[in-house]
């Protein structure tokens, strides 16, 4: 919808030709601007915004102005903005006006800006109070207020001329000439369907405070009942259906769901529904789509994994990622950043760890990882932990399925607990194997008390403590194994 643009910026900063193309057709039909209008550094002599009725000012230029027009002339010549020509502009709902340094501009000083700016007391109106001597007078029918010199360019006043009883705008001086309170800019008559523009929402031509809601209260049954006439809010309009590519969030059409909701399709309508816990978010893995050319997780790409619950592809940790890669100007990875992987529940491909920060002794950043899909494999392997001298426990406490591919855990001189896990119980395909060798010997581990907590069952554990058990010997509370169960502790 052309009349529903967020903001208009006409700014001459490249070449003349482009400035000309800026004033092409579309601007002529703009009737409403949601944000602000900025016209700066242009050289054309008029603005193509004759039909502009209302500037809502939901976003302001420099946090103050919803109409800003400055420096529109060429220093070395006679080119420049000569008239504003905004003959239909009668409402600025929020923000002020700034008009300055337009050497050739006429008539801006004749405009009654307080009639246009809704709240002139709180919004700055900075406009020249004189114009050059060469300016023509307003046409005599205009009572001295005009946007340009012609007869049809008079400013129409819709507020300061109203009877005291009107609480907004009017179409004449009498009490009976007040506009409906939902009108913006003015009106042709007293009804909510007679408005020039709507302060809030346009419901099939009538200005309303809110669109027809999805539920109505029935005072007889004391119940909320489905409203068959419900409409969605879409910008300043009420619509029966959200436009293509928009999603329904409660009773509004939105471009994307907020971060605490996810998009689902119900009855062929795309909707946002609240996520339980954290919202599912699928991300590309190393070697896939946007990370097609990446070799490893590194400081340049780790931020792409924020809030991901599913990795489509693989996660690979190589020394060039963890320690940095001077040849490619990649800085070392801040170990703290690895915590982004705490949201990951599924990796569809493989997890390949050939480098890890020196002082991180476990893989607990993957403590929520449930499934490794093995849809892509690395030499037949879907889980590889190789030659990590710092890791003493895996701590993959949620892992319960490795759907395909082999497990290879080798040459990790400090690693314990690995031998207590029944790897086959994680496998789903008949040909899967595990190759686990040259880690810390089980005897060495027990000698240093690196054994499963006594509250773990014989099924083993991923690391020290009662929260790393595969299953519990007695009872579990949440993820932790406990000796007894009592009501007070849950
Ligand atoms: C301005 O509004 C009037 C109605 O008040 C309309 O007839 C006219 O087409 C609009 N546009 C221009 C450029 O005057
Ligand atoms: C308006 O008045 C100011 C101050 O007197 C002056 O500097 C400026 O040149 C005048 N503007 C025009 C367009 O004449
Ligand atoms: C309301 O929207 C319709 C088109 O959807 C338009 O024709 C009409 O002029 C609008 N009314 C107001 C007051 O903006
Ligand atoms: C991650 O999720 C949090 C909480 O839901 C949210 O505040 C944040 O904006 C999200 N960040 C990104 C990059 O998605
Ligand atoms: C690991 O080392 C880094 C950098 O040397 C340091 O910032 C971080 O605090 C250390 N982390 C732990 C858990 O010791
Ligand atoms: C490991 O799990 C598999 C499949 O669940 C089972 O058949 C096997 O007996 C288990 N091995 C041990 C040593 O418990």
Q: pLDDT tens digits for 172-222?
A: 999 999 999 999 999 999 999 999 999 999 999 999 999 999 888 889 888
Q: For residue 42, what pLDDT band results from cuts at 50, 70 and 90?
A: confident
Statement to judge: residues 288 and 437 lie in one domain: yes
Q: Which residue has the tokens 């300016």?
A: 135
Domain assignment present for 51: yes
pLDDT at residue 264 greater than cutoff 60 = yes
Contact (Cβ atoms closer than 8 angstroms) between residue 310 and residue 341? no
Statement to judge: residues 321 and 417 lie in one domain: yes
Contact (Cβ atoms closer than 8 angstroms) between residue 417 and residue 452? yes
Q: Is 362 exposed, middle or buried (0-12, 13-18, 19+ CB in 10 A)?
A: buried
Domain assignment present for 165: no
Domain assignment present for 187: no
pLDDT at residue 263 greater than cutoff 50 = yes
Domain assignment present for 166: no
CB 422 less than 6 A from any atom of ligand 6: yes
Q: For residue 7, what pLDDT band results from cuts at 50, 70 and 90?
A: low
Q: 445-457 pLDDT, tens per residue?
A: 999 999 999 999 9
Statement to judge: residues 29 and 127 lie in one domain: yes
Residues spanned by the domain of 246: 215-274
Statement to judge: residues 292 and 227 lie in one domain: no
Ligand 5 mean position to 451 CA, how many Å?
A: 26
Last residue of a domain, one of 97, 114, 136: 136
Domain assignment present for 32: yes
pLDDT at residue 1 greater than cutoff 80 = no
- The rounded distance, in Å, linking the Cα atoms of 67 and 95 is 8
Ligand 6 mean position to 459 CA, how many Å?
A: 9
Statement to judge: residues 15 and 81 lie in one domain: yes
- pTM, full prediction: 0.63
Pairing status of strand 261-266 against strand 269-274: antiparallel
- The rounded distance, in Å, linking the Cα atoms of 252 and 271 is 10
Statement to judge: residues 78 and 223 lie in one domain: no
Nearest ligand to the C-alpha atom of residue 458: 6
Domain assignment present for 19: yes
CB 400 less than 6 A from any atom of ligand 6: no
Domain assignment present for 310: yes
Which CATH number does the domain housing residue 402 bear? 3.80.20.20
Task: Select from 435, 423, 402 the least CA-distant residue to 470.
Answer: 423
CB 335 less than 6 A from any atom of ligand 5: yes
**Number of other residues whose CB lies within 10 A of the CB of residue 248:** 20
Statement to judge: residues 122 and 66 lie in one domain: yes
Which CATH number does the domain housing residue 230 bear? 2.10.220.10
In 132-279, alpha helices (H): none
Statement to judge: residues 354 and 248 lie in one domain: no
Domain assignment present for 108: yes
Ligand 3 mean position to 202 CA, how many Å?
A: 6
Which ligand 4 atom sits closest to the C-alpha of 281? Answer: 14
Contact (Cβ atoms closer than 8 angstroms) between residue 93 and residue 118? yes
Task: Give the pLDDT mean for 410-427.
Answer: 95
pLDDT at residue 489 greater than cutoff 80 = no
Q: SS3 for 445?
A: helix
**Number of other residues whose CB lies within 10 A of the CB of residue 405:** 27
Q: What is the pLDDT of residue 13?
A: 31
Which ligand 4 atom sits closest to the C-alpha of 303? Answer: 13
Number of domains making up the chain? 4
Q: What is the mean pLDDT of the chain?
A: 89
Q: SS3 for 351?
A: strand
Residues 6+ apart with CB under 8 A from 333: 297, 298, 299, 302, 321, 322, 323, 324, 357
Cβ < 6 A, ligand 1 pocket? 50-51, 87-88
Task: Give the pLDDT mean for 81-98.
Answer: 95
Last residue of a domain, one of 136, 162, 183: 136
CB 197 less than 6 A from any atom of ligand 3: yes
Statement to judge: residues 433 and 400 lie in one domain: yes
Q: SS3 for 101?
A: coil
Statement to judge: residues 259 and 319 lie in one domain: no
Contact (Cβ atoms closer than 8 angstroms) between residue 72 and residue 105? yes
| Main-chain phi, psi angles of 182, to 5 degrees | -85, -5
Which ligand 6 atom sits closest to the C-alpha of 427? Answer: 4
Last residue of a domain, one of 236, 253, 274: 274
Q: What is the pLDDT of residue 234?
A: 92
Ligand 5 mean position to 395 CA, how many Å?
A: 19
Statement to judge: residues 294 and 428 lie in one domain: yes
Q: Whose CA is nearest to atom 2 of ligand 4?
A: 307
- Quote the radius of gyration of the chain (alpha carbons, Å): 34
Q: 309-367 pLDDT, tens per residue?
A: 999 999 999 999 999 999 999 999 999 999 999 999 999 999 999 999 998 999 999 99
Q: For residue 23, what pLDDT band results from cuts at 50, 70 and 90?
A: very low
Percent of residues in the chain assigned helix, strand, coil, to nearest 5: 15, 30, 60
Statement to judge: residues 430 and 487 lie in one domain: no
Q: What is the pLDDT of residue 12?
A: 38
Task: Give the pLDDT mean for 297-311.
Answer: 96
* Lowest pLDDT segment from 52-56, 163-167, 481-485: 481-485
Q: What angle (nearest 5°) sits at the alpha carbon of residue 217, between those of residues 216 and 218?
A: 115
Residue 95 gets which letter from DSSP?
Answer: S
Nearest ligand to the C-alpha atom of residue 423: 6
Q: For residue 27, what pLDDT band results from cuts at 50, 70 and 90?
A: low
- Structural tokens at position 182: 């939902």
């Amino acid at each position: 919808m052309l009349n529903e643009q967020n903001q208009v910026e006409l700014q001459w900063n490249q070449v003349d030709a482009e400035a000309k193309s800026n004033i092409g057709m579309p601007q002529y039909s703009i009737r409403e601007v949601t944000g602000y209008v900025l016209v700066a550094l242009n050289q054309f002599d008029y603005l193509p915004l004759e039909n502009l009725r209302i500037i809502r000012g939901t976003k302001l230029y420099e946090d103050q102005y919803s109409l800003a027009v400055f420096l529109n002339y060429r220093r070395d010549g006679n080119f420049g903005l000569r008239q504003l020509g905004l003959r239909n502009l009668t409402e600025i709902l929020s923000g002020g006006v700034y008009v300055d340094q337009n050497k050739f501009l006429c008539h801006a000083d004749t405009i009654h800006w307080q009639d246009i700016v809704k709240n002139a007391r709180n919004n700055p109106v900075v406009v020249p109070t004189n114009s050059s001597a060469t300016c023509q007078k307003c046409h005599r029918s205009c009572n001295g207020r005009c946007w340009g010199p012609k007869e049809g360019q008079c400013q129409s006043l819709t507020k300061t001329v109203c009877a005291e009883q009107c609480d907004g705008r009017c179409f004449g001086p009498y009490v009976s000439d007040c506009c409906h309170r939902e009108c913006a800019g003015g009106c042709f008559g007293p009804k909510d369907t007679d408005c020039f523009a709507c302060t809030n929402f346009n419901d099939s031509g009538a200005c309303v405070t809110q669109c027809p809601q999805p539920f109505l209260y029935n005072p007889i049954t004391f119940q909320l009942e489905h409203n068959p006439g419900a409409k969605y809010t879409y910008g300043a309009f009420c619509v029966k259906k959200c436009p293509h590519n928009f999603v329904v969030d409660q009773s509004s059409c939105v471009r994307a769901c907020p971060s605490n909701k996810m998009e689902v399709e119900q009855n062929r309508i795309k909707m946002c529904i609240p996520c339980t816990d954290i919202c599912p978010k699928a991300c590309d893995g190393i070697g896939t789509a946007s990370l097609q050319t990446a070799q490893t997780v590194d400081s340049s790409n780790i931020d792409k994994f924020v809030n991901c619950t599913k990795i489509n592809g693989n996660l690979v940790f190589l020394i060039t990622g963890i320690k940095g890669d001077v040849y490619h100007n990649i800085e070392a990875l801040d170990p703290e950043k690895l915590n982004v992987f705490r949201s990951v529940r599924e990796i569809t491909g493989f997890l390949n760890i050939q480098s890890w920060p020196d002082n991180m002794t476990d893989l607990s950043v993957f403590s929520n990882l449930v499934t490794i899909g093995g849809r892509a494999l690395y030499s037949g392997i879907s889980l590889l932990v190789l030659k990590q001298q710092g890791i003493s426990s895996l701590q993959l406490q949620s892992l319960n399925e490795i759907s395909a591919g082999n497990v290879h855990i080798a040459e990790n001189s400090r690693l314990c607990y690995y031998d207590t896990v029944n790897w086959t119980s994680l496998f789903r395909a008949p040909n899967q194997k595990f190759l686990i060798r040259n880690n810390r010997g089980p005897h060495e581990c027990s000698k240093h008390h690196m054994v499963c907590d006594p509250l773990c069952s014989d099924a083993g554990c991923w690391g020290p403590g009662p929260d790393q058990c595969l299953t519990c010997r007695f009872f579990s509370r949440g993820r932790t194994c406990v000796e007894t169960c009592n009501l007070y502790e849950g």
